[in-house]
Amino acid sequence: MTATTTSGTTVPAGDTGTAVRSRGAAGAAAFRGLILRDIAVLRRQIHIFLARTVVQPLLLVFVFAHVFPQIAQGVGGATGASRFTNVLVPGVVALAIVINGVQAVAVNLVGEIGHEREINDRVLAPLPVSVVALEKILYGAMEGLLAGLVVFPIAAVIPATPFALDPTWPVLLTVIPLACLASAALGLALGTAMQPRSLTFLFNIVLLPLTMLGGLFYSWSDLETIPWLQVAVLLNPLTYMSEGLRAALVTDVGHLPLMAVYVPLAVFAVGFTMIGVRGFRRRVLG
């Protein structure tokens, strides 16, 4: 007696379970291979990653948390310089996660789907196309995590006023992965929607407003005097990342309630993933 597997292969009935396990093992090995391939590319281009990761957070923290207080122009006045540092640093961590998560997926993907169709090498792996797209998100989340971690040593030595780090570990260990996944999923959604000539659109029309209106330089409660803006920034996923990281890292700065951080971040992560996977399938198979 024989049975036909989902791939169309005919095997003895008793070997069906073995065939399924073999395909599962092959798929897991292929997924691991794709991750290792991306890591190998990162190692060869580590200088580009470090420049992209270090320069922007370093300049932001240096100018706003070191230079301004030293010249008595700290945001919020001299007495508010310390609080501003505690507002700024979690926002910079969130920004590093977003910028690198988006770029790691979107920029690479735009090139791979371009004229040379390098993406074809990936979709030949024994994996569903949707899983190849999910691998992109996982790798982008890993780059976002590394970028976020880089900010902490910068915050430890650069600010003129000390950064009052007081981590709440359960929040930190859940907000950061969720932020990384949401950022990488956004990168997949953007990368599958753009043509190579549209990369300037990514930076000028998407990332710049995302940065300036994402609660990087102020907490959400600071916008109470501008009610319409306080509502508008809730459409920005960076707002929830910044607020969540403030809840996780400092105690003297107000933040959104945690449920008002986790739920929207989860919605953004799932929504961007669905959009990105659908776009990936369309661009690869279409």
Q: How far apart, in whole angstroms, are the C-alpha atoms of residue 174 and residue 244?
A: 9
The answer to whether residue 6 sits within a structural domain is: no
Contacts of 141 (CB under 8 A, 6+ apart): 101, 177, 180, 181, 183, 184
In a domain, 28, yes or no: no
Structural domain total, the chain: 1
Higher per-residue confidence, 184 vs 162:
184
Q: What percent of the chain has pLDDT over 90?
A: 53
What is the Cα–Cα distance from 191 to 272, expressed in whole angstroms?
A: 11
Minimum mean pLDDT among 57-61, 190-194, 219-223, 282-286: which range? 282-286
Tell me the residue length of the chain.
286
pLDDT at residue number 16: 58
What are the pLDDT digits (tens) for 255-285?
A: 999 999 999 999 999 999 999 999 999 988 8
User: By residue range, what is the domain housing residue 77?
Assistant: 45-285
pLDDT at 11: 47
CA 36 to chain centre: 19
Q: 31 lies in a domain?
A: no
Whether residue 88 is contained in a domain is answered as yes
The confidence band for 7, taking pLDDT boundaries of 50, 70 and 90, is very low
Q: Per the domain annotation, does 27 fall within a domain?
A: no
Q: Domain for residue 167, yes or no?
A: yes
Arithmetic mean of pLDDT, 105-120: 78
Q: Are 140 and 134 spatial neighbours (Cβ–Cβ below 8 Å)?
A: no
Residue 15 lies in a domain: no
Mean pLDDT of all residues belonging to the chain: 86
Q: Note the pTM of the prediction, 2 decimals.
A: 0.88
pLDDT tens per residue, range 175-187: 999 999 999 999 9
Q: Is residue 196 part of a domain?
A: yes
